[in-house]
Amino acid sequence: MSSGSAGADVVEPNLTSLLDLVMQLLMFFIMCVNFVSNQAAAEIALPDSQAAAPLEDKNTDALFVNIRPFNSSDPILIGKYSENPKYLEKLSEKFQPGQVYVIINGQEPMSLGSFRNWLRDQRSRAILEKGGDKDSKLDTIIIIRAHRETDYKDVYEVMETCRNQGYNQLFVRVLKV
Amino acid sequence: MNKRFKVSCFDPKSGSTRDLMLVASDEAAVMSLVQQAGLLAMSIELVDVSGKEGSSPPAESQPISAPIAVPQPSNPIPVAPVVAPVAKVVTPVAKVSKAVPVQPVPVAIPAPVAVPAPSAAPVSKAVPVQPAPVAVPVAVKGPTTAPVSKATSRTSLPAKVQAIPPASTLTLGAPGDFSPETAPVSRKRRRHNENTFPPEGEVVINVVPMLDMTFQLLFFFIITFQSPSGVEAQIPLTLPPPEGQQEASKDKKENTDKDIIPTIDSDVTVEIKSLNNPQYPGEMGEVEVSGLAKEVFRPTPGKSLDEGRAEVLGRLGDAMKQMAQDLKKDNLSLRLKADPGVKWERVIQVADTCRQAKFLGIRFEKPGGS
């Protein structure tokens, strides 16, 4: 009776706080998804720069090329993948210590040679879609994110590969300090 | 231990009978209560409430005084309808709450006008004997189990409310002698009902949604805020043309007049040499600037690696700035070349130094042989 009477009095659950929380969670997950779909690989420590230009509006058609040498004792690699030791194992099976590998979003880490092949396939597919001829230039912007320990020759090789495949707009990502 | 009593009373004023539910310690107390109310008790019956309240466990005893209904001489409500609901009250308790909704409670009537507080208020101590007692003072103070007392207050309250709505509300709200346990209950009920139906002229601002929204926005801006340090930026770069055309540009370079302001095929070339020290792989040694004037920057011997590099970069920056001033052009460009084994970080440092000196276009050249 006591509880029944109180319930019969007014039954209106307050949904406001519940909705607030739901919206909060929704927003959180939306932002998380955005981070995941970012093409930037987490294991790249970019070099610092003061005079670099700030990023322009997001290029819809950009290809991020992440480059870094494999080093199984690198704290960045260990730290980023401490929860995912299989990734490190896979890397060490695939690459020699010091060997440079390329990370493209949605692709397995690849060596420079397989990157060249992959980019060629990518180009021919893009040309098929757009219907240009073999030598036509591509609008896709290549954004190179090279780890600071990478040798110059390896970065240059990636640049050269991109240029040879007809990608002429290249940017180098740095960390603005 | 208080008990519930069902009392059949005769009201000499109206000449009618009515049933009441009272909570008291024993029958004598019930009798005195009824007498104080100016009624005549016809029969007293002990009602066992614990059986009906089986679902809720008995809580700790607490003194409770039920609200009083104070008679009002000028009460427009006739007595006849009073009797019928009261009879209902005594029967099953659950029905009472349905039959008599609590909503009349908020319909408050100015307390001081109807009843002088001192005479009406002393609820818990003794029920005042009113000159025209139409209503039933139901006031019991003493330890009782929680469910029982609640039931009592609820049943008696609606009963009174129906019987004499204005007066009952009155007494509830009047500044009286309520025991501390009772007062908050009645106030809470009133406040709640005021929120549901805000009285006319009273503006209630609900700030909770606003606060929620504010925190939401705050959170959003914190998340989207990017600290000035550590933001990614980019350097647009130019690459040498493919092999075949490179020869042509070299020819052009040989023919370039010194007075011509450099374009991207500028004569200014910055070359980073490797330190060639196995202890420090990838470190840069000297930096050579060729073009307008050939200059080589190398660290002073004896300095540490970091100091030497800072020195080289500083001198390189000064020289490049001087060169930029001499050239009197805003958008300068140069070729940047490095030994194959130089770290990318060092290459970017040199490129950064050049960019700070207004050499914005940087074309990376094929690494030189080391």
Q: φ, ψ for residue A119 (rounded to 5)?
A: -65, -35
Instruction: For residue A75, count other CB atoms closer than 10 A to its CB.
Output: 9
pLDDT at residue B210 greater than cutoff 50: yes
Among B114, B130, B33, which residue's Cα sits nearest to residue B75? B114
pLDDT digits (tens, 9 = 90+) for B40-78: 888 888 876 554 443 344 444 444 444 444 444 444 444
Q: State residue B77's pLDDT score.
A: 44
Q: State residue A117's pLDDT score.
A: 92
Instruction: For residue B184, count other CB atoms closer than 10 A to its CB.
Output: 10
Q: B219, B232, B364: best mutation site toward chain A, by most A Cβ within 10 Å?
A: B232
Instruction: Quote the mean pLDDT of chain A.
Output: 80
Q: Please answer whether residues A1 and B52 qualify as being in contact, where contact means their C-beta atoms are separated by less than 8 angstroms.
A: yes
CA distance A35 to chain B (A): 12
Q: Please answer whether residues B107 and B165 qualify as being in contact, where contact means their C-beta atoms are separated by less than 8 angstroms.
A: yes
Q: A151, A154, A159, A163: best mutation site toward chain B, by most B Cβ within 10 Å?
A: A151
Q: State residue B110's pLDDT score.
A: 41
Instruction: Quote the mean pLDDT of chain B.
Output: 63
Residues 6+ apart with CB under 8 A from B52: A1, B92, B93, B151
Is the ipTM here above 0.90?
no
pLDDT at residue B145 greater than cutoff 50: no
Percent of chain A with pLDDT over 70: 85
Fold classification of B237-364 (topology level) = Nucleotidyltransferase; domain 5 (3.30.420)
Burial per residue of A90-115, b for 16 or more beta-carbon CB atoms within 10 angstroms, e otherwise: ebeeebeeeebbbbbeeeebbbeeeb
Sketch the domain layout of chain B as residue ranges: 3-196, 237-364
pLDDT digits (tens, 9 = 90+) for B250-289: 444 443 333 333 345 566 888 888 888 888 888 888 888 8
Cβ pairs A/B, distance under 8 A: 159
Enter the tokens of residue B11: 């009201």
Side-chain half-sphere CA neighbours of A50 within 13 A:
9
Of A10, A162, A173, the CB nearest to B232: A173
Enter the tokens of residue B82: 């009073």
Query: Could you tell me the pLDDT band of residue A115, with boundaries at 50, 70 and 90?
Result: very high
pLDDT at residue B82 greater than cutoff 80: no
Look at B88-97, B177-186, B268-277, B336-345 and tell me which has the smallest mean pLDDT. Answer: B88-97
What does the DSSP assignment read for B86-100? HHHHHS-HHHHHHHS
Q: Please answer whether residues A97 and A142 qualify as being in contact, where contact means their C-beta atoms are separated by less than 8 angstroms.
A: no
Burial of residue B333, with CB atoms counted within 10 A of its CB: 0-12 exposed, 13-18 middle, 19 or more buried: buried
**3-state SS string over A13-51?**
CCCHHHHHHHHHHHHHHHHHHHHHHCCCCCCCCCCEECC
Query: Could you tell me the pLDDT band of residue B232, with boundaries at 50, 70 and 90?
Result: confident
pLDDT at residue A163 greater than cutoff 50: yes
Q: Which residues of chain A neighbour B53 with C-beta distances below 8 Å?
A: 1-2
Q: State residue A114's pLDDT score.
A: 92
Q: State residue A135's pLDDT score.
A: 65
Instruction: For residue B175, count other CB atoms closer than 10 A to its CB.
Output: 11
pLDDT (average), residues B197-202: 68
Q: φ, ψ for residue A135 (rounded to 5)?
A: -95, 5
Residues 6+ apart with CB under 8 A from B306: none
Contact call for B236 and A53, based on CB within 8 A: yes
Q: Which of B140 and A93 is assigned the larger pLDDT?
A: A93
The beta-strand segments (E) located in chain B are 3-11, 16-24, 40-47, 62-63, 143-144, 231-238, 269-274, 284-290, 295-297, 332-338, 359-364
Which residues, in sequence order, are bridge partners of residue A174? B233
Chain B, window 192-231: residues with a beta carbon less than 8 angstroms from a chain A beta carbon: 192, 196, 208-209, 212, 216, 219-220, 223, 229-231
Q: Which residues of chain B neighbour A27 with C-beta distances below 8 Å?
A: 216, 220
Query: Could you tell me the pLDDT band of residue B198, with boundaries at 50, 70 and 90?
Result: low
Q: Which residues of chain B neighbour A168 with C-beta distances below 8 Å?
A: 239
From residue B240, give the alpha-carbon distance in Å to each of A169, B18, B350. Answer: 12, 108, 19
Please give the span between the terminal C-alpha atoms of chain B, in angstroms, as a whole number. 102
Query: Could you tell me the pLDDT band of residue B13, with boundaries at 50, 70 and 90?
Result: confident
Q: State residue B263's pLDDT score.
A: 44
Percent of chain B with pLDDT over 70: 48
Which chain B residue is nearest to residue A20, measuring alpha carbons? B212
Contact call for A160 and B366, based on CB within 8 A: yes
Report how far residue B350's alpha carbon sits from residue B337's, in angstroms, rounded to the nearest whole number. 10
Which residues, in sequence order, are bridge partners of residue B272? B287, B338
pLDDT at residue A67 greater than cutoff 80: yes
Highest-confidence range of A91-95, A105-109, A149-153, B12-16, by mean pLDDT? A149-153
Look at A88-102, B43-57, B81-95 and tell me which has the smallest mean pLDDT. Answer: B81-95
pLDDT (average), residues A158-168: 85
Q: State residue B109's pLDDT score.
A: 41
Contact call for B102 and A1, based on CB within 8 A: no
pLDDT (average), residues A50-79: 79
Alpha helix ranges (H) inside B225-360: 243-255, 305-327, 344-356
Measure the CA angle with vertex B345, ends B333 and A97; round to 5°: 135
pLDDT at residue A39 greater than cutoff 60: yes
